[in-house]
Chains A and B, each alone.
Chain A
Amino acid sequence: MARKRNRMNMEAPEEPNFEIDLSPLLALMVTLIPMMLLATVFVKVSIVETPLPQAVKQAIEKDRKKKKREIVIELKMSNSKEFDLIVKYGASTKYRKQVAGKNFKENLNQLHKHLVQVKKQHPKIFQIQFLPSEEVAYEDIVKVMDEARKIKANDEPIFLENSEQNKPVELKVMFPDLIFKNLLEG
């Protein structure tokens, strides 16, 4: 008899008497989801600004405020996506490198290497005068700006002397200020 009762107990398990009421949670989600769908930006046009060390920030500001420049870095870009990098001391050209390959990606890599070399020699200069030809696509201009702006992880480190702390600061940016020199030339 006892065995029979045990069997019956096993066959008909006790019904759970505890149940979470999910309806308020559902109501909240039904409200939240349309609101967030409306406000969410799926194409991100902005990202967090890269924080710069104080010494580098000061050096950039100092370079921006310069009225007369003794050393001018010029970058010309032709319609065939070739580059001409010139460093001028006053009127005379002191450094010149031409990048003229068939592959644009390779040309960009070569240009970046030359820019790193120039930056090594002139760590206090943050401005480049950019002269693209008229048929150059906007997309390619942005790519050149990207190459000139930052030092990549596999590049040799470049240091900026910090007179306040007597300790050199490693640079993460190269030429953040790209000026379209031929804008007002007509």
Chain B
Amino acid sequence: MRRAVEKMKANNKRSTFVLQLTAMVDMFTIIIVFLLKSYSTSAVNITPQKGLSLPESVSIVHPVEGIKMVVSLEGIFVEDKKVVTLIDGKIDFTETEAQDRDFIKKLFKELDSHAQKSMDIQKENKEFQFEGKIVMQADKKLNYKLLKKVMYTSSLAGYADLKMATLSLE
């Protein structure tokens, strides 16, 4: 026993402190592989807003460049700017036109200003073309009544090509 302790002491004296990195490298390799798998190479990425639950779909095409519109239970956002406030997914009737209840005034104003900007760019730059594309992220709990108003107003503002963002099931 005494001899064994002495031998251990002798061995300890000989070796310096070496950090074992193998396990850490293994872990990092796994993390890198996982991240590479979930890394998106698409030019346009859509990150769902916090608290927004998108519907699930089996068939989705690539997201396209367009005006980003979010319709959540709290409000309607255009390019991250809150345009209309909703209360539990319902719109106040004062937000709509008296003669046309499907027309959301503030949303039209905001979208129209974006359309105008795009038209101005188009005048200066011939390569740029205003296509009226809009990518809508809407909460799955919303009803068609509200979405109909949103789609109707968007089409009147010149955004007739509406793309619905959904979660990929595949």
> Which residues in A have some Cβ–Cβ distance to B below 8 Å?
11, 22-23, 25-26, 29-30, 32-33, 36-37, 39-50, 132-139, 141-143, 145-146, 149-150, 180, 182-184, 186
Which of chain B's residues have a CB closer than 8 A to the CB of A133? 144
Inter-subunit contact A49/B144 (CB<8 Å): no
Q: How far is the CB of B140 from chain A (nearest CB, A)?
A: 4
Whole-angstrom distance between the Cβ of B170 and the nearest chain A Cβ: 6
Q: Are B47 and A43 in contact (CB under 8 A)?
A: yes
Measured CB to CB, the residues of B under 8 A from A are 7, 21-22, 24-25, 28-29, 31-32, 35-36, 38-40, 42, 44-48, 54-63, 100-102, 138-145, 147-148, 151-152, 155, 164-168, 170
- CB-based contact A46/B25 at 8 Å: no
Q: Tell me how many residue pairs across A and B have CB atoms closer than 8 Å.
A: 128
The answer to whether B40 touches A33, judged by C-beta atoms less than 8 angstroms apart, is no
How far does the alpha carbon of A141 sit from the alpha carbon of B22 in the complex, in Å?
52
User: B112: shortest Cβ distance to chain A, in Å?
Assistant: 18
Q: Tell me, in angstroms, the Cα distance from A186 to B145 when the chains sit together.
A: 10
Cβ of B31: which chain A residues have Cβ within 8 Å of it? Answer: 29, 33
A139: chain B residues within 8 A (beta carbon): 55, 140-141
Given A49-B62, A183-B155, answer yes or no on A44-B140 (Cβ-Cβ < 8 Å).
Answer: no
25 contacts between A and B (CB under 8 A): A22-B25, A26-B28, A33-B32, A36-B36, A41-B47, A43-B167, A45-B60, A46-B63, A47-B170, A49-B61, A134-B144, A136-B143, A137-B141, A138-B138, A139-B140, A141-B147, A142-B55, A142-B166, A146-B58, A149-B59, A150-B59, A180-B151, A183-B151, A183-B155, A186-B101
Closest residue of chain B to A45, judged by CB? B46
A29-B31, A45-B167, A184-B155 given. 9 additional CB < 8 A pairs? Answer: A26-B25, A29-B28, A32-B32, A43-B47, A46-B61, A49-B62, A136-B144, A138-B138, A142-B164
A43 touches B48 (CB 8 A): yes
Report how far A136 CA is from B146 CA in the complex, Å.
Answer: 10
B145–A45 contact, CB under 8 A?
no
